[in-house]
Amino acid sequence: MQNTSSSGQNETNAGPTTHFGYKTVAEAEKAAKVAEVFHSVAQRYDLMNDLMSAGLHRAWKAFTIARADVRPGMKVLDIAGGTGDLAKAFARKAGPSGQVWLTDINDSMLRVGRDRLIDKGLVVPTAVCDAEKLPFPDHYFDRVSVAFGLRNMTHKDVALAEMRRVLKPGGKLLVLEFSHVAKPLAPAYDWYSFNILPWLGKKVAGDEESYRYLAESIRMHPDQDTLAAMMKEAGLDRVRYFNLTAGLVALHEGVNLG
């Protein structure tokens, strides 16, 4: 018999399990498997994003940056910051009196992001860290963001609670993530995801399986309303979401009212 935990994982006599795409793996193994994916794709990550989304990921991130409304002097934490697109914009807006942290659990991605920011003349503090165990004090940041990273986390409820913990009262969390597309578009989107994405991964990044996992991980991610409920359960208020490109992506927001 299996028992379902509050974070959506299952537990058997062999110990707790979770999903890795469509596969079931031991919880303890998931982080390493996700790390393998992003170590593999780090150098071609931005190029693949442009190809996979036809450049739309730039518009989705621009919308997120605008909604964040980062102002001079603010402290911002970018989780799973990857190649640094959001951190770069936030650092420019926060200015020299602010503080923007670029973090990722994957050191290959973090190095790419750090180097890109340095090339743009921006030096920000960086840290390899697990979103489920953030190494920051309570109520430290004005804004916390995570773009296309939450779906890879083993215990999303724990990660969301950590994000709320490090937010100042009145601070805002922004979660940009692939979501559930409008039903009339679902068949075409499924065909594209499971045929074109792996093909692109093989031809451009030399890694078909990693992009097959990415397609599967999107399907396993909670839908818009479920994620909104999880954010409320984590203690966030004023939770709302914006569907972008017919729900292909959604931006969720929540505020820590203290």
The pLDDT assigned to 130 comes to 93
Which of 32-41, 60-69, 188-197 tops mean pLDDT? 60-69
The pLDDT of 117-139, averaged and rounded, is 95
Segment 36-63 shows an average pLDDT of: 76
Residue 195: CB atoms within 10 A of its CB come to 11
Average pLDDT over residues 244-253: 97
Range 192-199 contact pairs with CB under 8 angstroms and sequence separation of 24 or more? 193/218, 193/219, 197/52
67-121 pLDDT, tens per residue? 999 999 999 999 999 889 999 999 999 999 999 999 999 888 899 889 999 999 9
**What is residue 246's DSSP assignment?**
T
- Binding-site positions: 83, 104, 130-131
Q: Which of 43-57, 127-141, 204-218 holds the top average pLDDT? A: 127-141
Q: What is the pLDDT of residue 6?
A: 40
**pLDDT > 70? residue 168:** yes
Q: How far apart are CA 120 and CA 218, in angstroms?
A: 31
- Rounded mean pLDDT of 156-171? 98
**What pLDDT shows up at residue 5?**
37
* Residues 116-122: contacts with CB under 8 Å, at least 24 apart: 116/83, 116/84, 116/88, 117/84, 117/87, 117/88, 117/91, 120/88, 122/88, 122/91, 122/92
What pLDDT sits at residue 2? 35
* CA dist., res. 187 & res. 180, Å (int): 12
How high does pLDDT run on average in the chain? 87
CA distance 11 to 18: 9
Alpha-carbon distances, residue 88 vs 5, 102, 115, 196, 252 (angstroms): 37, 9, 11, 30, 21
pLDDT at 241 over 80: yes
Annotated binding site for S-adenosyl-L-methionine: which residue ranges? 83, 104, 130-131
Tokens 């009212």 locate to 257
Q: Which residue has the higher pLDDT, 169 or 19?
A: 169
* Dihedral sign for Cα atoms in the order 236, 233, 6, 168: positive
41-181+215-255: CATH topology is: Rossmann fold (3.40.50)
Question: Phi and psi (nearest 5°) for 163?
Answer: -60, -40
Per-residue pLDDT band at 211 (split at 50, 70, 90)? confident
> Which ranges in the chain are annotated with CATH 3.40.50.150?
41-181+215-255
